[in-house]
Amino acid sequence: MADQGTESILQFAPFQSAVDEGFWHRLSSLKLNKLGIDDSPIPITGFYAPCSHPHVSNHLTLVSESLPSESSEHFRPEIIRGNRNRCPVPGILYNTNTLEGFQSLDKQSLLRAEARKIWEDIRSGKVDEDNSVLLRFIVISFADLKNWSFHYWFAFPALILDPPATLVGLKPAAQWFSVEEAESVTAACNDWRNMCSTTDVPFFLVSISSNSAASIRHLVEFDACRKNGDKVLFGFYDPCHLPNNPGWPLRNYLWYISRRWSLEKVQFFCYRESRGFANLELSLVGEASISNSQDSRNDQNMPNAVGWEQNNRGRKAPRCISLAKTMDPTRLAISAADLNLKLMRWRQLPSLDLNVLSSTRCLLLGAGTLGCQVARMLMAWGVRKITLLDSGKVAMSNPLRQSLYTLDDCLNGGELKAEAAVKSLKKIFPAVEAESVIMAIPMPGHPVPSQEENSVLEDCKRLHELIDSHDAVFLLTDTRESRWLPSLLCANANKVTITAALGFDSFLVMRHGAGPLSSSPEIKAKATNDLSAEIGALSLKDNIKGQRLGCYFCNDVVAPVDSTANRTLDQQCTVTRPGLAPIASSLAVELLVGILHHPSGIFAKAEFASSIDTGSEQPLGILPHQIRGSISQFSQMTLAGHASASCTACSSTVVEEYEKGGLDFILEAINHPTYLEDITGLTELMKSAASFQIGWDDETGDEDDFVEI
Amino acid sequence: MAESWDGTLSSTEFYVAASAFAQQWRKFNSSLPHWSWLPSPNRPPWIFHDNQVQRDGRGEHRYDFHVVYSASYRVPVLYFRAYCNDGQPLSLDDIEKDIPVNSAELITRSKWTFMTQQEHPILDRPWYTLHPCGTSEWMKLLINSDASIAQNPVTVEKYMVSWFSVVGQVFGLKIPFEMLDFAAT
């Protein structure tokens, strides 16, 4: 900049703004909770301090306290004085309601209006009392609360001196002062900065007497100091770090000095710090020459003003900041939910595979007591893709037991359950990818009138496609026969299938075995390696005993029929102890997590709590086939049952028949109660073997205990 | 502290430990911003240290560090945030570029320094933090494995210095050796 001795125009380093995210947080909540569409200007307070870093300038900073609090009556920011790093500066905020409004603000006249305040404060003498008004600033903004982005633009209005001030000389203060003076100035500045009453007063006088003793005085004492014959410098807290330029506050300061005392030569002191103490190597002293033309002394003409800040690319344009990461509740919910699971992995289960969980597509058949609870448990485990299928509406009796519904869902005839459940899931966790399917599951033994045949067949096709497009299926409906078609379709598609069923005080939770036509990776590997081609050819057909686990229907000697016919209401409806459904639902979900983490997946063998031959212990524990529990006994046991060759849902006979006959086969099964029993040989079996016993492993499950609900 | 010590501090002990830490920091790290107490009636005690400036080719990044006492884990917790000059917060990716390479690895691998975003207990805004659930365990290990401590029982004053020697490392904030030495005496 200026060489010593040769005069050049004095150039100032522009003020730089910084907005703490806390400011935007408070502005957002003010806007939402108090201001609404009121867009009148808001008084705010900015803060700055002397530069304290040799390479970085201090900024004019807005923090949350810069704004009035929502409860404040006078709607002015409440400022705590006496913080050395926070010299308060008055500002004004124009926050518009729309981006268009923001763009069309008349910036020139806003700047001029604010500059006029400074000019009037100088004329009225207000600056003498509170010199921070010289630093008045403007912020215009638009808060896009939908996207958590904030457009804003600062202006630091500066009155223009005409002609501009010229620089007589500028040096580090340490070189300007004598050694004694420098020592005394340093001590005086530190005292000023350490005094609560003066630490945030940014403009002051440095008065040096003939014996090199320096003192820091208030501006109003200028005449007294001059009378003493002291050397007087105009000091200010300089936010700028540059060695050859004073910072922006000097602009209005010079204007004020020239107007107030009509000085032509002004010695100024740019006060800078390091480590909290005055640093005269970084501080500057300069001398400016101001020509006091008639014009500038003319009280009637306000000078021109400049001061809109450049953006971070150095252009005269607004800035924009995005805070979606810290403000978007959806994103916050995701990171919080992830944290819980990650902690689990970190502390207890290093092998927990969160990606598998979040990418598994789950289909829940039934959105009642079980469906609601299973959906919640799935979300708790980090499952993100959930489809709920139900044809019913939310009834008044539902919300107490069906944890996704409230009374609102029951009004006006009730919302569709699947839709209400999805809405509720999204409310609980916005990032869930939940979908609803409204349809009834076709059931055997519930004959279809011929005019409805097409729509029933359409439903069958749709269910087939739904099962194909998901990875895991939960059977959570309230009748036994409604589980038949999904069991068959899952066996056909070889999907992970989990059934939960409730009695009055007992429950069954089980995973279905693999489909009859699938082959486990182990068997395949064995077949390619083994010399015996026989085993490979046999694959996993039902006649290989002990290989395939059963499905919900494997243990039955009757095909599913209409179980609600001829039953009293208490037998049809959910008459079950309320604690049962949450227990069974939780077990069903834990079972799924176990399958997803088991190396053999759907082919995993049944494991028991007491089994000692498992060898390969999984971090999540054993993976049973069935869990049966009774609340009346407060007991629970794990069981296993193999697939039955006569099963009406998963036997190869039925699945092959379905593959061949397709929808015709389904229609046959639905309309003719004994059709399934006939083709699977159950009819034959029942006739011939009165002593038929199902192959429970140790215990004999007593199916009659189960009232299907 | 006795052998059965579980690696935690009471809130009063935290106050003592953090005050001692702030004082020593001022003495041995005078070029860095100091730690100061912030008043927080009815809230957990905390100290802060704002505006650590990191400069590189991509401009200045500012780091704010807060230490808040966690009443549930009974340990100090480091909260921090990073932002550009204009206030735009840095993403975790950006932060990982700022911190020393070996710390970045430490964060992804080590179970002692699990970085996550959580609500700042006083400001009620999401800040990054090193999760405290392992702190008492590794503090116990750290203090019990120090042979010199066998002779000189650990003082509460040393707790914060030892603690910060681990968590500060993540950001390349090294504790001067003298500070550890000082704390031991």
pLDDT tens digits, residue range A501-519?
998 889 999 999 998 887 6
Contact A56 B60 (CB under 8 A): yes
Whether residue A118 is found in the same domain as residue A211: no
Q: Which of A84-88, A108-112, A606-610 shows the highest mean pLDDT?
A: A108-112
Whether residue A148 is found in the same domain as residue A260: no
What CATH number is associated with residue A234?
3.40.140.100
The two three-digit tokens of residue A439, written as one number: 């349809």
pLDDT: is B97 or A58 the higher one?
A: A58
Whether residue A154 is found in the same domain as residue A171: no
- Comparing C-alpha atoms, which of A587, A566, A387, A562 is closest to residue A501? A587
Whether residue A149 is found in the same domain as residue A197: no
**Phi, psi at A235, each rounded to 5°:** -100, 150
How distant is the alpha carbon of residue B103 from its chain centre? 14
Contact B86 A17 (CB under 8 A): yes
Partners of A53 on chain B (C-beta within 8 Å) are 53
- Comparing C-alpha atoms, which of A515, A509, A443 is closest to residue A476? A509
Locate the DSSP E strands across A391-543: 433-438, 472-475, 496-502, 506-511
A437 found inside a domain: yes
- Choose, from A189, A410, A573, A647, the residue flagged as catalytic: A573
Of A21, A312, A332, the CB nearest to B89: A21
Tell the CATH topology of B11-175. Answer: Yope Regulator; Chain: A, (3.30.1460)
Confidence of residue A703 (pLDDT cuts 50, 70, 90): very low
Whether residue A104 is found in the same domain as residue A210: no
A335 found inside a domain: no
- The alpha-carbon gap from B83 to the nearest alpha carbon of chain A, in Å, equals 9
Contact A20 B87 (CB under 8 A): yes
A90 found inside a domain: yes
A527 found inside a domain: no
Q: How many domains are contained in chain A?
A: 3
Contact B87 A19 (CB under 8 A): yes
Nearest chain B residue to A21 by CA: give it.
B87
B18-72 pLDDT tens trace: 888 888 888 877 667 778 777 666 666 667 666 666 655 556 788 888 888 888 8
pLDDT attached to residue A154: 96
pLDDT attached to residue A136: 96
Least confident of A313-322, A419-428, B161-170: B161-170
Interface with A, mutate which of B26, B92, B125 (most A CBs under 10 A): B125
- What average pLDDT does the structure give for chain A? 84
- Comparing C-alpha atoms, which of A230, A181, A588 is closest to residue A380? A588
A131-169 pLDDT tens trace: 999 999 999 999 998 888 999 999 999 999 888 889 988
Average pLDDT of the residues in A54-72: 87
Average pLDDT of the residues in A265-273: 94
Whether residue A239 is found in the same domain as residue A366: no
pLDDT attached to residue A532: 42
Q: Tell me how far apart the alpha carbons of residues A579 and A631 are, in angstroms, rounded to a whole number.
A: 8
Confidence of residue B147 (pLDDT cuts 50, 70, 90): low
A220-246 pLDDT tens trace: 999 888 888 889 999 999 999 999 999
Decide if B88 touches A, using CB distance below 8 A. Answer: yes
A343 found inside a domain: no
Least confident of A18-27, A377-386, A674-683, B35-44: B35-44
Least confident of A153-157, A462-466, A531-535, B86-90: A531-535
pLDDT: is B101 or A469 the higher one?
A: A469
Whether residue A126 is found in the same domain as residue A48: yes
The whole domain housing A200 covers 166-305
Least confident of A97-111, A441-455, A638-652: A441-455
A275 found inside a domain: yes
pLDDT attached to residue A610: 61
Q: Tell me how far apart the alpha carbons of residues A254 and A266 are, in angstroms, rounded to a whole number.
A: 8
Whether residue A289 is found in the same domain as residue A185: yes
Confidence of residue A572 (pLDDT cuts 50, 70, 90): very low
Whether residue A112 is found in the same domain as residue A128: yes
A415 found inside a domain: yes
Least confident of A16-20, A328-332, A397-401, A558-562: A558-562
Chain A positions contacting chain B at CB under 8 Å are: 16-25, 53, 55-56, 59, 275-276, 312, 319, 321-323, 325-326, 332, 335-336, 339, 342-343, 346-347
Q: Which of A295-309, A493-507, A536-550, A662-676 shows the highest mean pLDDT?
A: A493-507
What CATH number is associated with residue A78?
3.40.140.70
Interface with A, mutate which of B38, B60, B117, B119 (most A CBs under 10 A): B117
Confidence of residue A389 (pLDDT cuts 50, 70, 90): very high
Exposed (0-12), middle (13-18) or buried (19+): which is A146, by Cβ within 10 Å? exposed
Least confident of A45-49, A144-148, B68-72, B108-112: B108-112
Q: Are A428 and A415 in contact (CB under 8 A)?
A: no
Whether residue A170 is found in the same domain as residue A276: yes
Percent residues over pLDDT 90 in chain A: 49
- The alpha-carbon gap from B160 to the nearest alpha carbon of chain A, in Å, equals 23
Average pLDDT of the residues in A511-535: 61
Q: Are B107 and B115 in contact (CB under 8 A)?
A: yes
pLDDT: is B38 or A38 the higher one?
A: A38
CA angle B70-B75-B79, nearest 5°?
60
pLDDT attached to residue A226: 86
Whether residue A141 is found in the same domain as residue A180: no
Longest CA–CA span in chain A (Å) reads 128
Whether residue A110 is found in the same domain as residue A153: yes
**Phi, psi at A124, each rounded to 5°:** -80, -10
Residue A537: count of CB within 10 angstroms of its CB: 9
Q: Domain residue spans in chain B?
A: 11-175
Contact B88 A53 (CB under 8 A): no
Q: Are A469 and A452 in contact (CB under 8 A)?
A: no
Contact A326 B126 (CB under 8 A): yes
Q: Is A573 a catalytic residue?
A: yes
